[in-house]
Structure 1
Amino acid sequence: MLAHLSLKQFAVVSAAELSFGPGLTVISGETGAGKSLLVDALGLLSGLRADSGVVRHGADRAELVADFTLDDAPQAAQWLRDNELDETGDGDVAVCQIRRVIRADGGSRAWINGRPVTLGQLGELAAHLVEIHGQHEHQALMSKASQLGLLDAYGRCEAQREPVERAARAWSALLRERETLLAQGDVSDRIGWLEHQYAELEREALEPDALAKLLADHRRHAHAAGLIAACESAFARLGGEEGPSLTRTLQQVRGELQRMSEHEPRLGEVETMLDQAAIQIDEAVSLLDRVRDDLDLDPSEFEQIEHKMGRLHELARKHRVAPERLAATRDGLAAELEQLRGAGERLDRLDGEIDAARAGWRRAADALGQARREAARSLGARTTELIGELGMGGGRFDVAVEPLDEDRPDPQGGERVEFMVAANPGQPARPLRKVASGGELSRISLAIEVAAFGLDAVPTMVFDEVDSGIGGAVAEIVGQKLRTLGAGRQVLCVTHLAQVAAQGHAHYRVSKAASEGVTQSAVVVLGAKQREEELARMLGGIELSKEVRAAARRLLADVG
């Protein structure tokens, strides 16, 4: 919902701050006062192109800011999250601020929640926030996609639409898989090459444990002579072959300390430690003996290890990976081989699966199409009735539901939808987007929205001069329909008729005055008494008689 709108140096408005609430807000003013500027501002904040003419004379730039709360706009909140532009306000309520600056030299910049964005992004977000109905290009109901969405919402077609979308996605995925397999062409050469590469790697022990053992064996054989010499030297020194035996020396020291320990108990602890050391030395000598026996200076075995190491490095260079990655390369080749060997069988199965997916989509699309045609008849009849009430007697509204030319599964279904209107009796129905009269277009849009009662997801609807060319009882009906629409959506309406303005939950007046030779517009919210005066002006012009004021009071009283 639009919560606040700020205008600075915009056209004839020097500065204006407007706050909005739920329900119907009407905006009135004398001809030329600039009451439609609020609609223009929202259009520019929605991504419409701007020129330097919107900048107030003498200013270097115009600035427009709109603040929205998003508790009633989940699609807008999701768009902001998807584009990483989301933000929360007080109480963790999702909010959105759109700001646009238009310079006098014709350039402009835009921001969403303080971050720079493109006009395209403004348009995408605004499509989830505001619908503008009137003499403007930016109108959601002119879009075929929006018309289809509104019809589906009106007909409660969500349950039928979901399986259509799912079946179309499944069909597309199968088609892409088949195209990928076909693009590979004759894979026999590729299979032969892969089999050769895989066989080379399969002959080698490439697992991490095997590689670690090979490296350890290589290091041991490469240093075998030095290892043997070191073991023999250590064994000789520990065993007493070169000088006194370390074990015998420890035994002698232990005996001497044991004899003296009765005089100093702590010597017993030392004797125990030496006993443990003697045990460790004995175990070390035994292990040295086994290591020395295991060492082998067999040149042929070392040559075999060297050959294996060289083979691994050669394979690693060939496949451009480290030796540790050769096992993963082998497994990748095996997986590709399995896929290619089954490609022919998979292609045969895919043809059947694609046909089955298309048939499934067709069944789901037929069910959706039937629901849409029933909704189209109902929406067309209801909207035709309403446009008659809104002063277009004899007019007709139809929803054309026509099958798509191609039988390609479409996530949106098997038909296209177009809103068609015949504004006068005897005229052929034409697409809504081609209806020429701005006033008629606004009233038709109002009738559609009332018939669907705001079933589309956009929370704020703006009607510009919806009452153009009507008066009397029809004007009162238009106002009533707008108020009805305001029960479920926020509605802003620019009007010049008192019968419409009286129906508003809130009322703004736009006025203009000349100051130092420069025309300026001001926007003020009206209290009860001011509102009565404004309705009287709209009814009676400059001279406000007692009868005109009484009529204004009666209009307000009738609304309650």
Structure 2
Amino acid sequence: MLVHLSIKNLAIVKTLDIDFRQGLSVVTGETGAGKSIAIDALGLCLGERAEASMVRAGNNKAEVCATFDIKSLKQVNEWLAGHDLCQDDEANSELLIRRVVSSEGRSKAYINGSPAPLQQLKELGLLLVNIHGQHAHQLLLKAENQRQVLDRFADHQAMQDEVKQFYQKWLESKKQLEQLQLGQQQRSDRRNLLAYQVQELDEFALIEDEFTSLESEHKKLSHSQTLLEQAQQSFYRLYEADEHSALTAVQSSLDSLSELQHHDPDLGPIVGILNEALINIDEASVQLRHYADNLEIDPMRMNQVEQRYSQAMDLARKHNVNPEQLYQYHQSLVVELAQLNSDDSVLDSLQQDVQKYLDSYLQSARKLSKSRYLASKKLAVQVESYIQQMNMDKATFTVDVNFDESIPPSAMGLDKVAFMISTNPGIQADTLDKVVSGGELSRIGLAIQVISTNGNQIPTMIFDEVDTGISGPTASVVGKLLRKLGASCQVICVTHLPQVAASGHQQMFVTKFTDDKTTETHMICLKENERIEELARLLAGDVLTSSAIANAEELLNSYQ
């Protein structure tokens, strides 16, 4: 529970330190004194948005620190441990949340001294405090919020999660199906074209790197006669031209110089070069003769190569690719065609998935609807009992749950939930927005909040003037209701009603001080005699009479 709240330089607060206890704590004070400032400050610690205007004029920053006793809060301790935010020296018995807001609007947050993002504050805040603001009751007029109230009361989160899960799967598969169906005609046209192109290329059956080989062979066969003639002539000049062959000339020079190198050693290197040349010419001659002997002039092979080479060139031009890329292009078309063919099977599979998930969704939605229906009867009985105690003794309250498969599926199911009420006998029940007044709506809202708290693991409940529109005997019932609620959890209530204020286990008083230059808000915990005076002021106004004090004392004693 919340045990301490420290505020510095926030709005009209300079410094404020407040200790809270278990039970019902009521907050009263003058109009405009800032009774809700503590709630606003606590909201910052729970992740609410920070603004530069929150910083007290003339200061660089505002700071709020909230301390919670978490010894018995298992969920909170598990959350802190999961985020490595436990305090080593406190043995997980205390939690400190700190929020600093600069005059430029920037803010920093800390959990047990460690920097934390706002999302973590919000997650942790949901486990610590439940705040009901002045306008919370107005949300009851919306059907969506009525369904949420019923779901919280029914406590069937697992069913809600199952419905949401099947809804998301159905929605995802439906989107995929629609995307495939949207381009179905284009894919069909493309598949037909690819089938023709792949068949044509399959029939040609070009293998990898074949075109390079074809091109090389085509050049060789096209010049085979010239190659043969030049090879034979070169062989003749190198080897067979009797006295005029290259081999004879080199051999003659080598013989002459070999004899002369005895007279001049400088001829030795030249003789060596000529000797190597003689060997090379002889080897070249042998290879030329072998080349000429094996070079075939085959008109039939030439025709085959010419035909296949030309066909490859034609196909490359037809598909607008380089001939060397024709094989890879063929393979890419095969892959694309296979993908398009697989899309048809995916389409069939998706159609089956869509129907499967829709059937599962409907089944889960019906189960959720049944649970809502059973819970609606229990909720209606409890709400009716509470509001009849709050000066609505003739009112009847029902919760309608209508399962409608004709409406579009949603993550929340297929139920239309409506809170129905009749405030007077003989008047047909209708929706809240058409029947109840503002005060009656406040009573209904308060009853629902109290009922929703039963079994709630959140340790602190805060009500910010939720008793607006309530007065007289009804206010006394509200006070008793809040005090009863304070027996099971910590309740903090900002109120202007003396009957509610008197019901508190402790009472905080907010006052505003100004010296025409600055304004400050103070909050103090009232002693019993101070409480009597404050209750008298709430009962009779600023002028305290002996009868007002007597009434206040009697009112306070009625709750003791």
Deviation at 1:470, TM superposition (A): 3.9
The Cα of 1:477 is off from its aligned counterpart by: 1.2
Alignment TM-score, normalising by the size of structure 2: 0.59
Amino acid at match of 2:86: T
SS for the counterpart of 1:108 is: coil
The range that moved more, 409-418 or 43-52, is 43-52
| Shift in CA distance, 549/121, structure 1 to aligned 2, threshold 3 Å | same
Q: Which secondary structure state, in structure 1, belongs to the residue aligned with residue 91 of structure 2?
A: helix
Question: Size of the alignment, in residue pairs?
Answer: 431
**1:133–1:441 Cα contact (<8 Å) kept:** no
Between the aligned partners of 1:197 and 1:344, the Cα distance in structure 2 is: 24
Aligned residue among 109, 112, 120 for 1:112: 109
CA RMSD of aligned residues (A): 5.3
Change (3 A) 1:431 1:130: farther
For residue 13 of structure 1, what is the aligned residue in structure 2?
13
SS of the counterpart of 2:27?
Answer: strand
Tell me the secondary structure at the aligned position of residue 375 of structure 1. Answer: helix
Instruction: Give the letter for the 1:522 counterpart.
Output: H
Instruction: Report the alpha carbon displacement of residue 376 of structure 1 after superposing the two structures with TM.
Output: 2.5
Q: State how far apart, in whole Å, the 2-side matches of 1:39 and 1:424 are.
A: 37
Q: What CA distance in whole angstroms lies between the structure 2 residues aligned with 1:361 and 1:478?
A: 42
- The one-character-per-residue Cα deviations of 1:457-489 (angstroms, maximum 9, x if unpaired) are 755432223344544432221111112223444
What is the rounded CA distance, in whole Å, between the counterparts of 2:14 and 2:448 in structure 1?
Answer: 36
Write the mapping of 1:34-113 to structure 2, written as runs, cut at 5 A.
34-42=34-42, 47=48, 52=53, 56=56, 58-60=57-59, 63=62, 65-67=64-66, 69=68, 72=73, 74=75, 87-89=85-87, 90-92=90-92, 95=95, 97=97, 99=99, 101=101, 103=103, 108-113=105-110
Query: Structure 1 residues 32 and 168 mapped into 2: Cα distance closer, same or farther (>3 Å)?
Result: closer
Q: What is the rounded CA distance, in whole Å, between the counterparts of 1:337 and 1:94 in structure 2?
A: 66
Q: Residues 261-300 of structure 1, C-alpha deviation per residue, up to 9 Å, x if partnerless?
A: xxxxxxxxxxxxxxxxxxxxxxxxxxxxxxxxxxxxxxxx
| C-alpha spacing 1:62/1:376, structure 2 compared with 1 (3 Å) | farther
Corresponding position of 1:167: 166
Give the partner amino acid of 1:151: L
- Following superposition, the deviation at residue 35 of structure 1 comes to 1.9
* Runs of 5+ consecutive residues of structure 1 not aligned to the other structure: 205-316, 319-329
Partner of 1:474: 474
**1:393-433 CA distances to partner (integer Å, 9 max, x unpaired)?**
55565545455685544332112445566788869855569
Please name the residue that 1:214 is paired with.
none
Relative to structure 1, the CA distance from residue 177 to residue 542 in structure 2 (aligned partners, 3 Å threshold; closer, same or farther) is: closer
Deviation at 1:162, TM superposition (A): 4.3
SS at match of 1:559: coil
Amino acid of the residue matched to residue 133 of structure 1?
Answer: H
Task: Give the superposition deviation at 1:42.
Answer: 4.5
Question: Does the residue aligned with 2:493 lie in a helix, a strand or coil?
Answer: strand
Letter in 2 for 1:415: D
The letter for the 2-side match of 1:112 is A
The SS at the match of 1:87 is coil
Whichever residue aligns with residue 387 of structure 2, its letter is I
- CA–CA distance in structure 2, aligned partners of residues 415 and 174 of structure 1: 23
Amino acid in the other structure paired with 1:20: F
- Aligned counterpart, 2:149: 150
Secondary structure at the aligned position of 1:361 is classed as: helix
Q: What is the letter of the counterpart of residue 47 of structure 1?
A: E
Task: From the superposition, tell whether residues 557 and 143 of structure 1 become closer, same or farther in structure 2 (CA, over 3 Å).
Answer: same
Relative distance call for 1:76 and 1:405 in structure 2 (3 A) is farther
- Which letter maps to 1:108? G
**Cα distance, 1:14 vs. partner?**
2.3
1:491–1:147 CA distance, 2 compared to 1 (3 A): farther
Deviations 1:139-194 (A, max 9, x none): 87677665433312322434543442343244335435545654573474778999
Q: Distance in 2 between matches of 1:355 and 1:335?
A: 30
- Equivalent residues in 2 for 1:314-333, closer than 5 Å: none
Cα distance between partner residues in 1 of 2:97 and 2:435: 33
C-alpha distance in 2 between matches for 1:419 and 1:42: 32
Q: Which amino acid in the other structure matches residue 110 of structure 1?
A: S
Shifted more, 69-78 versus 352-361: the winner is 69-78
Q: Is 1:494 aligned to residue 491 of structure 2?
A: no
> Are the counterparts in 2 of residues 386 and 451 from structure 1 also a CA contact under 8 Å?
no
Distance 1:158 1:132, change over 3 A: closer
Asked if the contact 1:25–1:507 (Cα under 8 Å) also holds between the matched residues in 2, the reply is: yes
- Aligned ranges for residues 320-469 of structure 1 at < 5 Å? 341-392=341-392, 397-403=397-403, 407-417=407-417, 419=419, 429=430, 437=438, 440-454=440-454, 459-469=459-469
Find the aligned partners of 2:195 and 2:2 in 1 and give their Cα distance: 64
Amino acid at match of 2:48: G
Q: Secondary structure of 1:88's partner? A: coil
Identify if the C-alpha distance between structure 1 residues 137 and 551 changes in structure 2 by more than 3 Å, giving closer, same or farther. closer
| Cα 1:407/1:131, change in 2 over 3 Å | same
- 1:24 corresponds to: 24
C-alpha deviation, 1:533, in angstroms: 4.8
- Residues 340 and 50 of structure 1: CA distance in aligned 2, closer, same or farther (over 3 Å): same
How far residue 68 of structure 1 moved from its aligned partner, in angstroms, is: 6.1
SS at match of 2:58: coil
Residues 16-25 or 344-353, more deviating: 344-353
User: How many Å separate the matches in 1 of 2:201 and 2:66?
Assistant: 64
Q: Residues 220-276 of structure 1, C-alpha deviation per residue, up to 9 Å, x if partnerless?
A: xxxxxxxxxxxxxxxxxxxxxxxxxxxxxxxxxxxxxxxxxxxxxxxxxxxxxxxxx
Any conservation in 1 of the 2:52–2:106 contact (CA below 8 Å)? Answer: no
1:512 paired to 2:509: no
Shift of the 339–173 alpha-carbon distance from structure 1 to 2, 3 Å rule, reads: farther
Contact persistence 2:418–2:431 (CA under 8 A): no
Structure 1 contact 133–139 (Cα < 8 Å) conserved: no
Contact 2:130 2:461 in 1 (8 A): yes
8 Å contact kept, 1:191–1:341: no
Work out the percentage of aligned pairs sharing the same amino acid. Answer: 34
Q: Which stretch shifts more, 390-399 or 344-353?
A: 390-399
- Relative to structure 1, the CA distance from residue 451 to residue 75 in structure 2 (aligned partners, 3 Å threshold; closer, same or farther) is same
Which amino acid is the alignment partner of residue 17 of structure 1? D
* Residue correspondence of structure 1 range 530-549 to structure 2 within 5 A: 530-539=530-539
Alpha-carbon distance in structure 1 between the residues aligned to 2:125 and 2:535: 32
Structure 1: how far apart are the matches of 2:126 and 2:137? 9
Q: Is the 8 A contact 1:87 1:95 kept in 2?
A: no
